[in-house]
Amino acid sequence: MPELPEVETTLRGIRPYLDGARVERLIVRDPRLRRPIPPETAERVAGQAVRSLSRRSKYLLIGLDQGSLLIHLGMSGSLRVVPADSAPKKHDHLDLVLTDGRCLRFHDPRRFGLFLWLPETPELAERCHPLLRDLGPEPLGTAFDGDHLHRLGRQRRVAVKIFLMDASVVVGVGNIYANESLFLAGIHPARACHRIGLERYRRLAEVIRGVLEASITQGGTTLRDFVQEDGNPGYFAQSLRVYGRTGEPCIACGAPLRLRRIGQRSSFYCVHCQH
């Protein structure tokens, strides 16, 4: 699943082409996404100008003259800016055609993505829409720090990795980045979140921010279904320290890395470096 850095990379890639552009029409080849695209969506977006582009967690928000578009890439979705007359490929489910001859093309083999028109502005949607209103702070924003994690963690009894991946606590720390951050912070992924002190949480918050920023800089983690908006894969996967490296030596101490299922997700860790 594309995680926060991949979505941020996508946003930065499409922004130069969409910011200030005008929508000519919406072509829907297959409306059967996670939520079916209503037939009236094409009429609602035609002729509107793009006024803003933003990201909230793993959701993209495109502000229009009236309302906004809410996009989620699901497990396998991607967006491309391509010539509007280029032939669509299999699983290219819709085109947001622009008046300049380009289109924003949504590709999603598994059809778990979202493409919704909302009557609200992006700002209002963030506060009111059911998919957005209960989300925690952005990990790269000023509202997120170790004090925030410590305050919430004292009230919980779950493993810290599950705690970090709870979007009501902090958004966008998916499985890959939770594994990497906990390793760098020296915290065992199964450790109960209420048994972690303030200073360790402050270190963890700093590490999370650094790991995500590094991934964004390098173009997002290469996943099986993810490539950047220009078609090139990301490169952060080359820097992964524990994720997917079961049995390989720890880069810090040389001990074999271990794999454990925590909350139905694969957790990779070093038994000597993380406690």
Q: How does pLDDT run across 192-244, given as a tens digit for each residue?
A: 999 999 999 999 999 999 999 988 887 765 444 445 556 555 545 657 899 99
pLDDT reading at 175 higher than 60: yes
- φ, ψ of residue 149 to 5 degrees: the values are -65, -40
222 and 250 together in one domain: yes
Domain range enclosing 181 = 146-269
Task: Determine what percent of the chain is predicted with pLDDT higher than 70.
Answer: 93
- Looking at residue 221, its pLDDT comes to 58
Q: Which residues are annotated as a binding site for DNA?
A: 91, 110, 156
Q: Are residues 123 and 156 in the same domain?
A: no
Please report, rounded to a whole number, the percentage of residues in the chain having pLDDT higher than 90.
Answer: 86
- Per the prediction, the chain carries an average pLDDT of 92
Which CATH number fits the domain that encloses residue 248? 1.10.8.50
Annotated binding-site ranges: 91, 110, 156
Residues 117 and 215 in one domain: no
Is there a domain that residue 187 lies in?
yes
Give residue 224's pLDDT: 47
Task: Please report the pLDDT score of residue 2 as a whole number.
Answer: 76
pLDDT digits (tens, 9 = 90+) for 8-65: 989 998 999 999 999 999 999 999 999 999 999 999 999 999 999 999 999 999 999 9
Q: What is the pLDDT at residue 157?
A: 93
Q: Which residues are part of the catalytic machinery?
A: 2-3, 58, 265
For residue 70, pLDDT over 90 is answered with: yes
